[in-house]
Amino acid sequence: MSKPLKKMTKEEKLAYANKKIIRGFWLFLFGMIWMYFGTNLDGFVSAITVMGLLIILYGLVKKFSV
All structural domains of the chain with their residue ranges: 28-66
User: CA–CA separation, 25 vs 55, rounded Å?
Assistant: 8
pLDDT in tens, the chain (66 residues): 566 777 888 898 899 999 999 999 999 999 888 888 877 777 888 888 999 999 999 999 988 887
User: CA–CA separation, 18 vs 44, rounded Å?
Assistant: 26
Is the dihedral angle over the CA atoms 26, 32, 37, 38 positive or is it negative? positive
Contact residues for 60 (Cβ-Cβ < 8 A; gap 6+): 17, 21
User: CA–CA separation, 18 vs 8, rounded Å?
Assistant: 14
